[in-house]
Homo-oligomer: A and B are copies of this chain.
């Protein structure tokens, strides 16, 4: 039976197609403008369209996709189409769909099944509609979170006979794939684009360096100068946070479990402490560990009045928020994403985004970072689709180094950056191909 977004009637595009399901197809024009604006900051994809358009490297590809549906994703999808692919698309999140963008995509003939505010049932129905359609069978999967992959495994395992590969973007989805692989159940090659060098550096170090400031500022209007801050975890995310906060005049210390990261923190000028040693003096506590219960109720009890607590890490369990939902504490919502937790003695702790990721909840992801992700996805699809028989087995792969470098090179024009080329003599001396890859796989950027 046909499901529809609440309050809508079945409609068709101007050309009469009705193989889609969006909130309001009439918003297509507005969505088109959003896509055009996004294109301005995603010149790498536009450039990829131009370079690869002659040869249509995705001719014959039938891609079923499940991602956030935003203007930036639309640029990706339309790039895939420009390179020869047929696409069917659904949303990987029930809240994140930009309805007008979905409409614009549908209007150009891409079967899209997504709207903002889907129910759980809607969600799976949309996925199903993408996969299960007469006369069309996917041979590539682009997934973000693993739900689409999971659905195909569960309902239509025979689809995998034709699928040449899965491209997976999220930590969770990649984790599932490695588990499948370990269990010997992965039946097609999969590409882990989450761990590509370029993506990692941008999503973590460079992006968080900016979003920690943005997220704190938008929610609390805090002045950074002179504030005492502890950052739990000195991985890429922690490094980004510490760099930015220190640069703006905060006094930052860190906690670590890993001695190598701890020693890096020393060299970078941060005191390495245990959280309990410093918790009483801190103005801001930031978690970026990937671990759970890093900030415990006991530590929350010892924080000073006005202390801000937030999470830049992976899950929403880094701060033991559950422990704060107890009768002796009063929660007061003072702004969107900002709660004051009030102790019986009047002490207030400022909790941001209820312990969920600050950078996702309270700041925006720059289009430039999304461009890097989307370009990486596109190249991974091209690689898997065109790889000669046998290059990839039923396993999880990292993006070939050369492709990682290609993603980077497509983004250099944004900065008017001019690469140097090796002379023949130099390439020989270094034992390198003049076109890369330039580094061994184990190289640490």
Contact = CB atoms under 8 A, between A and B. Distances in A.
A410 to B, nearest CB: 8
A274 B69 CA distance: 39
A247 interface: yes
A9 interface: no
A121 interface: no
27 contacts: A198-B260, A201-B267, A202-B267, A205-B267, A206-B249, A206-B267, A214-B217, A218-B218, A222-B366, A223-B368, A223-B369, A226-B415, A249-B268, A251-B271, A256-B419, A257-B420, A258-B438, A259-B405, A263-B411, A271-B416, A271-B417, A272-B412, A272-B415, A273-B417, A291-B430, A292-B429, A293-B425
Nearest to A417: B272
Interface in A203-226: 205-207, 209-210, 213-214, 217-218, 221-226
A290 B214 contact: no
Contacts of A429: 291-292
Contact of A257 (B205, B366, B419): B419
Given A226-B266, A293-B426, A256 B420 contact: yes
Interface string A314-338: 0000000000000000000010000
A-B CB proximity, top 5 nearest: A247-B247, A226-B266, A272-B417, A223-B366, A259-B409
A197 interface: yes
A408 interface: yes
A412 B217 contact: no
A434 to B, nearest CB: 9
A12 B194 CA distance: 64
A221 to B, nearest CB: 5
Contact of A200 (B248, B261, B444): B444
A258 B405 contact: yes
A78 interface: no
Contacts of A385: none
A404 to B, nearest CB: 6
Most chain B beta-carbon contacts within 10 A, residue among A206, A247, A409: A206
A226 B248 CA distance: 18
Interface of A: 37, 40-41, 195, 197-198, 200-202, 205-207, 209-210, 213-214, 217-218, 221-226, 228, 236, 244, 246-251, 255-275, 277, 281, 290-294, 305-306, 334, 363-364, 366-369, 404-406, 408-409, 411-412, 414-423, 425-426, 429-430, 436, 438-439, 442, 444-445
A339 to B, nearest CB: 14
A422 to B, nearest CB: 6
Contacts of A418: 272-274, 277
Contacts of A255: 420
A248 B205 CA distance: 12
A217 B226 contact: no
B259 A225 contact: no
Contacts of A408: 259-260, 262-263
Contacts of A293: 423, 425-426
Contacts of A256: 419-420
Nearest to A363: B217
B218 A260 contact: no
A292 B40 CA distance: 31
A439 B290 CA distance: 12
Nearest to A273: B418
